[in-house]
């Protein structure tokens, strides 16, 4: 009959593996518990409330993929922004991903950039392609209101030709 003998290095290795699994489990439970509660400090407790807001952007009737939508509050010195997906849909963020925007009236800017080559170090060179008027609150003529109650579903239609004068900002 063969007798099974464990080597001296097997037991410490198994013990180390068991301890590392326990440490990982404790860490994961701590992360889950820590991330599930609202974080509040002296800065966050004085912030104005934000309200969920989603929307869509079309450009000449087509979804504006990759557009950055920014809402600048007219009553607070705060902005919320979101980036559209391939379908032109976005979700606004002020403090935390997807939390929304402050209630009230907002000026809206929308910009779209695309890569037009790379610089000498391999960094992408991005240029604006959406009509310039939508990039500044003073010229975009887009406004919206975020409500405290009910759904905030926004829809923006922009029009105009692609910018032909688009040139690299940092050649």
Instruction: Note the pLDDT tens digit of each residue in 63-118.
Output: 999 999 999 999 999 999 999 999 999 999 999 999 999 999 999 999 999 888 89
Q: Are 152 and 90 in contact (CB under 8 A)?
A: no
Query: How many domains are there within the chain?
Result: 1
Is residue 163 a part of any domain in this protein?
no
In-domain check, residue 37: no
Q: What is the CATH number of the domain that holds 116?
A: 2.60.40.10
**Per-residue pLDDT at 163:** 86
pLDDT exceeds cutoff 50 at 36: no
3-state secondary structure of 117: strand
The whole-number pLDDT of residue 46 equals 79
- Is the pLDDT at 166 greater than 90? The verdict is no
User: What's the CA gap between 100 and 25, in Å, rounded?
Assistant: 33
Residue 57 lies in a domain: yes
Residue 6: inside a domain, yes or no?
Answer: no
Inside any domain, residue 31: no
CA dist 136 and 108 (Å) reads: 8
Range of 134's domain? 44-158
Q: At residue 3, does pLDDT exceed 80?
A: no
| Coil, strand or helix at 66 | coil
Phi first, then psi: what are they for 49, rounded to 5°?
-70, 150
Please measure the distance between the N-terminal and C-terminal CA atoms of the chain and give it in whole angstroms. 79
- Whether the model clears a pTM of 0.85, i.e. scores above it, the answer is no
Q: Is residue 10 part of a domain?
A: no
Specify whether the CB–CB gap between 80 and 132 falls below 8 A.
no
> pLDDT value at position 116?
87
């Amino acid at each position: 009959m063969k007798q099974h003998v464990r080597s001296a290095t097997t037991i410490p290795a198994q013990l180390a593996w068991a301890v590392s699994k326990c440490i990982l489990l404790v860490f994961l439970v701590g992360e889950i518990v820590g991330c599930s509660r609202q974080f509040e400090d002296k800065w966050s407790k004085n912030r104005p409330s934000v309200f969920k807001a989603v929307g869509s952007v079309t450009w000449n009737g087509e979804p504006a993929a990759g557009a950055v939508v920014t809402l600048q509050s007219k009553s607070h010195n705060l902005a919320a922004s979101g980036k559209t997906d391939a379908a032109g849909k976005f979700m606004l963020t002020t403090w935390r991903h997807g939390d929304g925007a402050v209630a009230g009236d907002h000026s809206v800017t929308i910009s779209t950039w695309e890569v037009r080559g790379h610089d000498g170090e391999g960094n992408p060179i991005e240029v604006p392609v959406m009509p310039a008027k939508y990039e500044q609150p003073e010229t975009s003529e887009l406004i919206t209101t975020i409500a405290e109650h009910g759904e905030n579903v926004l829809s923006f239609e922009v029009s105009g030709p692609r910018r032909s004068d688009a040139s690299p900002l940092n050649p």
